[in-house]
Structure 1
C-alpha cells in the first residue's frame, strides 16, 4: 500500500499541497483537505479517491460561490455551469445541497428577484418572464407564484406610451402594427396588447382646436 513520504506546499498556489507517495509526486489537494494527512500514513486506492473527490467538491463549491458573487443564481443555472465545467453529477448535487443549507440558493427567492429586476429594467409580460425562468430551471409552481401579481394591462399601457410618440406620425395602421410588435416581443397577450395600443393612440391624440 502506498505511503505518504512528502507533503509540500505549492510555491504558486499557497492553498494547495503536493502529496508524494513512495517518494514520487502523486497528486495535489487543497490545504484543508490535506489537514489530516501526515508522513508515514498509508493510503489505499479508496482513500486516494476520497481525497480527490473532496478536493473536487471544494473546488466546485468555490467556483459556485464565485458565480454567486456576481448575482443571485438559480439551482438550475449553477447545475448547468458546473456540468459544463465537467463537475461530477454527485458533486453538483452535494454543492447545491450545501448552498441551500447556507441559504445562498433559493429558487423561490430567485424567481421573485428575477421578476423584480426585469420589471425595473425591462418590463415584460408574464409569458416572457415565465419563459426566462423556465430556461433557468425554475419549477412551474414557483414560476406561477412569481408572476401571479403582475398587472399586465397596466404594464402594457406603460410600455406602449413610451413608444407611442415615435409611431404616431406614421398613421394608425403603422402605429398599431409597430406598437403591437413591441408588446409581442415583450411577451404580452393579445388582449393586453389590443387594449394598450388603443389607450396609447387615444393618449397621444393631438389636442382638438
Structure 2
C-alpha cells in the first residue's frame, strides 16, 4: 500500500502538498489535513485519496463561498450561482451548501427577515415589491410570508404615508385630480395594496390651490387651443375641452376657462 512520505506547506497559507512514495500526489487544505489526521508514514489507498481530493474541493469551494458571503448577506440561490460561475461541480456545491447551512452561514429565512426590516426602516417599498425581490433572490415562499409578518399594517401605513408626501411634492404642478391619481398609482407601483394606497392619499388631506389650478389650466389650455387652431371653432373647442379633461381638470373649470377665451357658444 502507498505511504505518505512528506507533507510540505505551500507558500499560500493553509495549503499543503502531499507526497506519496516520494512523489508529489495532491494538495489539501489545513482543514482536510486535520479532519483526516494525515501524517508522514500514513498508509493511503486510492479510495482514501479520492475522499481527500473531494474534501479538498469542498474546502476550496467553502472558502470561495466565505469570501462571497463576507461582503453582505446572500441567499442560498446567490451562493449557488456564484459557485457555479467558478465552474465548481454541482455535487461539490451541494456539499458546500450543506456545510454553510449547518453553520447558519446561509439562511434564507434570516435573509428575508433582515431584508424586510431594512425596507421598513430605510426603503419606500410595499409588501408586493418586497415579495417579488425576495423571490428573484431565490427565497422560498414560506420564509417570505413569515418575514412579511414583520411588516405590520401600522408600519406599512407609516412608510406609505412618507412616500405619498414625497409624491405629492413631485406632482404638485399637476391638475389636482391627476395629482391624486399619480400619488395613488405611485404607491401601488411600489408594492402597496390599492385599498391601502387610497387610505394613504386620503390621510394627506390634499386640497387644491384654486389660483394655482386656474393658472395651470390656463397655461395648458392655451397650448391646446393653439395646437388645434386649424380646426373649425366647434371642433377646436371640443378637442381642447377633451384634452384638458384627460389631464385631470374639472369640466366646470374647463368650461369657465373656455368661456373667457372664446365666449359662450
Q: 8 Å contact 1:60–1:95 — kept in the other structure?
A: yes
Q: What is the alpha-carbon distance in structure 2 between the residues aligned to residue 173 and residue 2 of structure 1?
A: 85
- Give the TM-score taking structure 1 as reference length: 0.80
Q: Where do 1:115-154 residues align within 5 Å? A: 115-148=116-149, 149-151=151-153, 152-154=156-158
Change (3 A) 1:154 1:37: closer
**RCO (CA 8 Å, sep 6+): is it higher in 1 or 2?**
1
Q: Where do 1:56-95 residues align within 5 Å? A: 56-95=57-96
Q: 8 Å contact 1:164–1:204 — kept in the other structure?
A: no
Q: What is the alpha-carbon distance in structure 2 between the residues aligned to residue 74 and residue 120 of structure 1?
A: 21
Q: 8 Å contact 2:31–2:59 — kept in the other structure?
A: no
Q: 8 Å contact 2:17–2:28 — kept in the other structure?
A: yes
Q: Where do 1:8-87 residues align within 5 Å? A: 8-11=8-11, 13-35=12-34, 36-87=37-88
Post-superposition CA distance 1:61-93 (Å, at most 9, x none): 223333333333333332332333333334333
Of the two, which has the highest radius of gyration?
A: 2
Q: 8 Å contact 1:126–1:150 — kept in the other structure?
A: no
SS at match of 1:131: helix
Q: 8 Å contact 2:4–2:18 — kept in the other structure?
A: yes
Q: What is the alpha-carbon distance in structure 2 between the residues aligned to residue 207 and residue 29 of structure 1?
A: 78
- Give the TM-score taking structure 2 as reference length: 0.65
In the alignment, structure 1 segments of 5+ residues that lack a partner are none
SS at match of 1:162: helix
How far has the Cα of 1:51 moved from its partner?
0.8
